[in-house]
A = this chain, B = another copy of it.
Amino acid sequence: MQSILIHRFDNGLQLLAEQMDYLESVAFSLQVPGGYVYDPDDREGLANFTCEMALRGCGERSARQFIEDLDNLGVNYNSGVASEFAGFRGAMASAMLDPALELVADFVRRPHLPADQLEDGRLVCQQEIRALDDDVAQQMMLELRRRTFNAPYGRAHHGTLESLASITLGDIRGFFEKMYRPDGAVLSVAGKFDWNHLIERIESLLGDWSGVENFEPVVSPPTAGDLHIEYPSNQTHIGLSYAAPSYIEDDYFPARAAVGVLADGMTSRFFTEVREKRGLVYSVGASYDSLRDAGAVFCYASSTTDRAQETLDVMRAELVRLGEGIEPDELDRLKVQLKTGLLMEQESSRSRCATLVGDWRLLGRVRTRNEVLSLVEGLTCEAVNAWLAENPPRDFRVVTIGKKALESPDAVS
């Protein structure tokens, strides 16, 4: 029996927890408003830079003391920003949760954001961008996202070398003051812990945390058009995207099933047609990305220059064929895979933590395993095909990077 527990503190902080007493570990994930969609247009990368600086000392601890204390507790942790949130995650032995939460509270409430580490922090953020120089697949995906999701949701979290150069300590402190607040923050805990004690502990650490302003980013359409980036490589990286329902829409599950038939595993259509039958690529895939108000499917492959056009053509043909419907045996296989995935997730405190907070962020509630199971079980070929008939994959955005631009039949000539 799954045990999901929910508590909202007076200051707006939302606590979600799942007891998994068969584990000895516990994981947490804290998300505060402070994602990259709140970057001012002339300060892209500010959210990421702020998150980097928040680790450089907080509360009574120096930067060094903070990470040493986390290591001394055996907390396996990381931090970073997503579109709407800055997050801090960790997993550890169950007994270490109490002291770890004290460090988490310092991170979100009392970072020093020290002037003498500003340039070191800036260098690290800039190195993250420079490392992209050799990661052309990632460059391609960033450009594709920008052409798929509305701005600022489609932007890169790390900004540009130029925008980072212009960020001041005042910008960082201002961003922190405005964004790192309990109203809109979500903390999830999964694994072995005592629920009543957890509430008390968090009340004492975060109960008097305050700040209630809400900010909505100003939204504008995605960057228009397709893009080819000239690059002197023998490989061409191909990205193709199209719109899909967000996780909160009723249509999500049929849409997700269709993408599964397209690209999940070695029996998927992409793997079969692009790799196994034609040997066009070593890897080909698609991922379904859902924000709150929009979703999209991102397809990708890389092939040699001379076979890249055929690769893109076969991918397009498979997307058109997907619109014509899926077969019952394809759906049956996918359902088994999705159900096995749910079972595996239930054995990992980290995975459950991520799902709890993801559900809450998108749905405003948590789906139980049984609820998801019955949504998966309830999928029928008829329903998926009816949905596909109304919503065939279309209006593709294409970004390529390599020696030669590719032809797109639906490009405006």
Contact = CB atoms under 8 A, between A and B. Distances in A.
B136 A276 contact: no
A355 to B, nearest CB: 16
Contact of A279 (B124, B232, B276): B124
A74 B336 contact: yes
A357 to B, nearest CB: 20
Nearest to A275: B124
Interface string A260-299: 0000011100001001111111110000000000000000
Nearest to A27: B344
Contacts of A279: 119-120, 122-124, 126-127
A282 B339 CA distance: 38
A48 to B, nearest CB: 12
Copies in the complex: 2
Given A25-B343, A346-B24, A348-B347, A233 B68 contact: no
A284 to B, nearest CB: 10
A129 to B, nearest CB: 9
B333 A68 contact: yes
A22 B281 CA distance: 40
A337 interface: yes
A307 B272 CA distance: 45
Contacts of A120: 276-279
Contacts of A64: 267, 272
B91 A134 contact: no
Interface in A93-138: 93, 119-120, 122-124, 126-128, 130-131, 133-134, 136-137
Interface in A28-81: 63-64, 67-68, 70-76
A142 to B, nearest CB: 15
B235 A347 contact: no
A41 to B, nearest CB: 25
A14 interface: no
B71 A133 contact: no
Interface in A133-182: 133-134, 136-137
Nearest to A91: B344
| Residue from A72, A267, A332, A344 having most chain B Cβ neighbours under 10 A | A344
Contact of A336 (B73, B91, B237, B282): B73
A303 B278 CA distance: 38
A23 interface: yes
A175 to B, nearest CB: 21
A68 B267 contact: yes
B127 A340 contact: no
Nearest to A231: B134
Contacts of A344: 25, 76, 91
A304 interface: yes
Nearest to A277: B120
A303 B134 contact: no
29 contacts: A22-B23, A24-B343, A24-B347, A25-B347, A63-B276, A64-B267, A67-B266, A68-B267, A71-B265, A71-B266, A71-B336, A71-B337, A72-B336, A75-B340, A76-B337, A76-B341, A92-B340, A93-B339, A93-B340, A124-B275, A127-B275, A127-B281, A130-B234, A130-B304, A133-B234, A133-B235, A134-B134, A134-B233, A232-B232
Interface of A: 22-25, 63-64, 67-68, 70-76, 91-93, 119-120, 122-124, 126-128, 130-131, 133-134, 136-137, 232-235, 237, 265-267, 272, 275-283, 302-304, 329, 332-333, 336-337, 339-341, 343-344, 346-349
Q: Name the 3 nearest CB pairs between A and B, nearest first.
A: A123-B279, A74-B340, A127-B282
